[in-house]
Amino acid sequence: MQQQTPPEPFDLPALVADLNSLLRLKTTVIGMKMFASVDEMAAIPKIRRPSAVHTTDQIVSMASRLGWTVGITADDLVGAQCRAVIGLAPQDEKWLAGQAYVGVWHENAEDARKRQEALDVVPHGQYQALVVSPLASGRLNPPDICLVYATPGQMIILINGLQYTGYKKFEWGVVGETACADSWGRALKTGEPSLSLPCYAERRYGGVPDEEMLMALSPAHLAKAITGMKALARNGLRYPIAPYGIQSDVRAGMGVSYAQK
């Protein structure tokens, strides 16, 4: 059997420095990586292990809000929903039924099941552990995905950067509750940039502020977005986006922003 070549590492501190310079982010950019064994997870330098039971949202925020490197297994998470999204619990018939959500998040069993079936999740059986860490620390190099919390204004510039070359239309969904399936669940599953509106649990337990959205994307996609944003900045299209004035004559501004120099 041919041995797989390990993925090339990235200059993660440089990526983060560029990203913060371009978007003026206030929340730490983090990496997330799945591990096939607990021993591999435990070998990450300066890793912390939870002493209590948490949601995945809390674990992610320990990295993005506190700057910690944290490793978890299924036993560290509060229930099947958090575990299943990252592939640490089976997405079996009991999980798909979503009975716990009937009368709480959904009116009936049919709606609860439809929501469960709509979630993008990591297939079960491949991994035993997960680690999150500030991207600039380099402890996960490369991570499977990077997580960028940003305001809508910052996020559209990031998306424009991704679309500067090799344009494609992005089409994202909103599952509602369990929106982590829209971000890290989808990005881990598909490898594609995945935008989400953080849900009730992410905001209540993970402390995500009202104004923030979440983009999950591979390091390669993040590097591509940064290259695109630098090109846009040279064209005068950068963050923060200065308001032009709703009563001003728009022609001078449009001639700069939408015409070739």
Q: Which of 28, 1, 17 is nearest to 146 (CA)?
A: 28
CB atoms < 10 A from the CB of 102, how many? 16
Residue 254 lies in a domain: no
Domain span at residue 190 reads 12-241
pLDDT of 61 above 90: yes
Residue 4 confidence (pLDDT): 54
The whole-number average pLDDT for the span 220-242 is 97
Predicted local confidence at residue 5, as pLDDT: 57
How much is the pLDDT for 1? 38
List, for residues 127-178, the tens digit of each pLDDT value: 999 999 999 999 999 999 999 999 999 999 999 999 999 999 999 999 999 9
Q: Give bridge partners of residue 72 from the DSSP assignment.
A: 130
Cross-strand bridge partners of residue 216: 147, 194
pLDDT at 6: 56
CA distances 147 to 36, 88, 115, 219, Å, are 21, 20, 24, 10
Are the beta carbons of 149 and 213 closer than 8 angstroms? yes
253 belongs to a structural domain:
no
Q: Does residue 250 sit within a domain? A: no
Q: Which residue has the tokens 């890290």?
A: 184
Distance CA 257, CA 49 (A): 49
Phi/psi for 55 (5° steps) reads -90, 160
Q: Is residue 255 part of a domain?
A: no
> Is the predicted pLDDT of residue 26 greater than 70, yes or no?
yes
Give the span between the Cα atoms of 148 and 29, in whole angstroms.
5
Over range 14-28, report the average pLDDT. 98
Q: What angle do CA 131, 72, 92 make, to 5 degrees?
A: 110
| In a domain? residue 260 | no
Question: Is residue 132, in this structure, part of any structural domain at all?
Answer: yes
User: What's CA 40's distance to the chain center, in Å?
Assistant: 22
Within a domain: residue 90? yes
N-terminal to C-terminal alpha carbon distance within the chain: 55
Separation between Cα atoms, residue 31 and residue 143, nearest integer Å: 5
In-domain check, residue 212: yes
* Structural tokens at position 120: 């993008």
User: 48, 109 in Cβ contact below 8 A?
Assistant: no
Number of domains comprising the chain = 1
pTM of this prediction? 0.94
Q: How much is the pLDDT for 253?
A: 87
pLDDT of residue 199: 98
If you search the block for the tokens 């990586």, which residue do you land on? 33
- Rounded Cα distance between 63 and 214, Å, is 14
